[in-house]
């Protein structure tokens, strides 16, 4: 693909063979544990990776999400005398679910005995096997440090990039309605119900919300927003439709109640000169600067979000400066700059 050789490796794990294991809500704990054991110590995949390394003879290996590829791949790479860069995109090295959430969508700070055992095994296998860890946010770095993983490994913050293309700052027309936009998974940990409840407490029929995405709680969100100007658009038909949605919106709302690692939705919004109202949680405050390119509120605070929405509804002119700053903010996340920094990291290991 585009001159790059791609190896497709089937996970050869329980879920690859039994369809009834695919729905996470129906998993039995023993099947989950067995899946993670096989995923961690998958010797078959380890041997396949060894063959690839011998055939390709790389100078360095950069690993991203490795679920399904076996944690043993790191040891195999080091056994071949190769430097390893690992980009962490989630909490999978310290949490079996990779999101630090309990089954009720509340944040899990300590974990069960099974989860703690999982994290210790990952720490043992990864200790000394990675030369540099890259993280999109300082928040994720801090979480890994708190859990005593990669303590002796260099960790570098390198935010995810975005394809800027030929964008330019745009001035948004203001109509009688305040157009809000939500883009993402329709699950409770993303906090869409916080936005809906905030709208219920505002006596203003001129606030509308376009929602793009699908998820397990879609029917629930529809049921609690029947009498509001909330429109569920489903999945966007390509990025062009989504781009138009950003450009048509006055504000994008990211009301997450989970530890978001970064937030590409925020960059997409900024790129289209659309400010963001977001929860002050996870890595979000590293991208959204309160009063500069958007507004922040306490995660889960319906009234906190309500006050911000009322303010911009009554004084929409305050968004003008935020729009300009949102676009400026997006320019610091170009793919070109990201690649340059990656090359610097690579050169430092060779």
What six digits make up the tokens of 65?
């999400």
**Banded pLDDT at 34 (limits 50, 70, 90):** low
Cα gap 166→155, rounded to integer Å: 33
Q: What single string gives the DSSP state of each residue in 272-298?
A: TT--EEEES-TTGGGTPPBTTTEEEE-
pLDDT over 80 at 28, yes or no: no
178-333 CATH fold = Rossmann fold (3.40.50)
Cα gap 185→136, rounded to integer Å: 20
Q: What single string gives the DSSP state of each residue in 18-60?
A: -GGGS-GGG--HHHHHHHHHHHHT-HHHHHHHHHHHHHH--S-
Cα gap 75→216, rounded to integer Å: 37
CATH class for domain 14-161+338-349? alpha beta
Backbone angles phi, psi at 273, to 5 degrees: 60, 30
Nearest in space to 160 (alpha carbons), one of 277, 292, 64, 234: 64
Location of each CATH 3.40.50.2000 domain in the chain:
178-333
Cα gap 265→330, rounded to integer Å: 11
Question: HSE-up of 56 (CA within 13 Å, CB side)?
Answer: 17
Contact 287, 262 (CB under 8 A): yes
What six digits make up the tokens of 36?
């993670």
Per-residue pLDDT tens over the stretch 112-158 = 888 888 888 888 888 889 999 999 999 999 999 999 999 889 999 99
Cα gap 307→290, rounded to integer Å: 14
Per-residue pLDDT tens over the stretch 184-197 = 999 999 999 999 99
Per-residue pLDDT tens over the stretch 46-86 = 888 899 999 999 999 999 988 777 788 888 899 999 999 99
Contact 261, 282 (CB under 8 A): yes
- pLDDT over 90, % of the chain: 67
Cα gap 89→85, rounded to integer Å: 13
Per-residue pLDDT tens over the stretch 196-255 = 999 999 988 899 999 999 999 999 999 999 989 999 999 999 989 999 999 999 999 999
- pLDDT over 70, % of the chain: 90
Nearest in space to 71 (alpha carbons), one of 36, 23, 20, 27: 36
Average pLDDT, the chain: 89
Other Cβ atoms less than 10 A from the Cβ of 209: the count is 22
């Amino acid at each position: 693909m585009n001159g790059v050789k791609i190896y497709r490796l089937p996970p050869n794990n329980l879920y690859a063979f039994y369809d009834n294991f695919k729905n996470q809500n129906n998993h039995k704990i023993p099947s989950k544990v067995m899946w993670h054991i096989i995923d961690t110590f998958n010797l078959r995949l380890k041997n396949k990776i060894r063959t690839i390394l011998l055939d390709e003879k790389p100078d360095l290996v950069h690993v991203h999400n490795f679920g399904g590829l076996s944690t043993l791949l790191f040891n195999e790479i080091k056994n071949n005398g190769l430097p390893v860069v690992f980009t962490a995109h989630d909490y999978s090295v310290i949490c079996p679910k990779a999101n630090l959430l309990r089954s009720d969508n509340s944040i899990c700070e300590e974990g069960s005995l099974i989860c703690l055992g999982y994290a210790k095994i990952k720490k043992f296998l990864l200790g000394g096997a990675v030369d540099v860890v890259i993280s999109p946010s300082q928040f994720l770095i801090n979480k890994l440090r708190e859990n005593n993983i990669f303590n002796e490994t260099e960790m570098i913050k390198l935010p995810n990039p975005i394809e800027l293309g030929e964008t330019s700052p745009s001035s948004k027309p203001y109509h009688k309605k305040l157009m809000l936009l939500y883009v993402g998974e329709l699950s409770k940990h993303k906090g869409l119900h916080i936005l809906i409840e905030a709208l219920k407490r505002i006596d203003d029929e001129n606030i509308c919300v376009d929602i793009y995405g699908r998820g397990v709680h879609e029917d629930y969100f529809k049921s609690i927003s029947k009498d509001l100007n909330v429109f569920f658009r489903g999945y966007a038909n390509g990025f062009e439709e989504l781009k138009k949605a950003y450009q048509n919106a006055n504000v994008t709302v990211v009301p997450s109640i989970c530890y978001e690692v970064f937030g590409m939705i925020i960059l997409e919004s900024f790129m289209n000169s659309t400010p963001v109202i977001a929860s002050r949680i996870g890595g979000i405050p590293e991208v959204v600067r309160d009063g500069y390119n958007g507004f922040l509120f306490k995660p889960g605070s319906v009234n906190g979000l309500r006050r911000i929405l009322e303010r911009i509804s009554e004084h929409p002119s305050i968004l003008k400066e935020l729009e300009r700053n949102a676009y400026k903010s997006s320019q610091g996340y170009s793919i070109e700059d990201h690649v340059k920094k990656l090359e610097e990291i690579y050169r430092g290991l060779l």
